[in-house]
Amino acid sequence: MIADILPAAAESRFCESDPMSSALFTPLALAGTTLENRIVVSPMCEYSANDGVADDWHLTHLGMLANSGAALVVVEATHVARHARITHGCLGLYSDACEAELARVIAHCRRIGTAKFAIQIAHAGRKASAQRPWQGGGALTPGEDPWPTVAPSAIAFGAGWHTPRAMGEDDMAAARDAFVDSVRRAMRIGFDAIELHFAHGYLAHSFLSPLSNRRTDAYGGSLDNRMRFPLTVARAVRATAPRPLALGARITGSDWKDGGLTPDDAVVFAKALKAEGLDYICVSSGGITADTRNPGAPGYNAPIAERVRHEAAIATRTVGLIATPRQAEAIVAEGKADMVALGRAALDDPHWGWHAARVLGAETTMRRPPQYLRAAPQLWPGAAFTD
Query: 37-76: per-residue pLDDT in tens?
Result: 999 999 999 999 999 999 999 999 999 999 999 999 999 9
**234 vs 3, more confident:** 234
Q: Is residue 124 over pLDDT 80?
A: yes
pLDDT of res. 383: 67
- State yes or no: is 202 an active-site residue: yes
258 band by pLDDT with thresholds 50, 70 and 90:
very high
pLDDT of residue 19: 43
Average pLDDT of the residues in 153-177 = 98
- Answer yes or no: are the C-beta atoms of 319 and 352 closer than 8 Å: no
Q: What confidence category does residue 363 fall into, taking pLDDT thresholds of 50, 70 and 90?
A: confident
128 touches 167 (CB < 8 A): no
- The closest alpha carbon to 212, from 167, 268, 274, belongs to 167
Q: What is the mean pLDDT of residues 109-133?
A: 97
Contact between 281 and 268 under an 8 Å Cβ cutoff? The reply is no
Helix locations, the chain, DSSP H = 2-5, 56-65, 96-112, 169-189, 203-208, 223-226, 228-240, 263-275, 302-312, 325-333, 344-348, 352-359
* Per-residue pLDDT at 177 exceeds 80: yes
Tell me: pLDDT of 287 over 70.
Answer: yes
Task: Supply the pLDDT for residue 211.
Answer: 98
Q: Which of 47, 94, 202, 280 is catalytic?
A: 202
23 vs 37: CA distance, rounded Å: 8
Burial of 21 (0-12, 13-18, 19+ CB in 10 A): middle
Architecture of the domain spanning 23-350: Alpha-Beta Barrel (3.20)
Per-residue pLDDT reduced to its tens digit, 310-346? 999 999 999 999 999 999 999 999 999 999 999 999 9
Provide the pLDDT confidence category of residue 22 given band limits of 50, 70 and 90. very high
Average pLDDT on 132-157 reads: 97
Look up residue 163 and give its DSSP letter: P
Query: Does 191 have pLDDT greater than 80?
Result: yes
- Kindly tell me if the per-residue pLDDT of 248 is higher than 50: yes
Q: Are 162 and 139 in contact (CB under 8 A)?
A: yes
Q: What is the mean pLDDT of residues 278-297?
A: 96
Residue 295, pLDDT above cutoff 90: yes
pLDDT above 90 as % of the chain? 88
Model pLDDT, residue 200:
98
Per-residue pLDDT band for 279 (boundaries 50, 70, 90) equals very high
Cα–Cα dist 212/201, whole Å? 9
Q: Is the confidence at residue 144, as pLDDT, over 70?
A: yes
Contact 39, 26 (CB under 8 A): no
Count Cα atoms within 13 angstroms, Cβ side, for 178: 23
Cβ-defined contacts of 364-368 (< 8 Å, 24+)? 364/19, 365/19, 365/22, 365/25, 365/36, 365/37, 366/25, 366/69, 367/36, 367/114, 368/67, 368/114
- Integer Cα distance of 230 and 323 in angstroms: 31
For residue 8, what pLDDT is reported? 28
- Per-residue pLDDT band at 1 (split at 50, 70, 90): very low
pLDDT of 3 over the 60 cut: no
Q: What is the mean pLDDT of the chain?
A: 93
The residue-averaged pLDDT of 273-292 equals 97
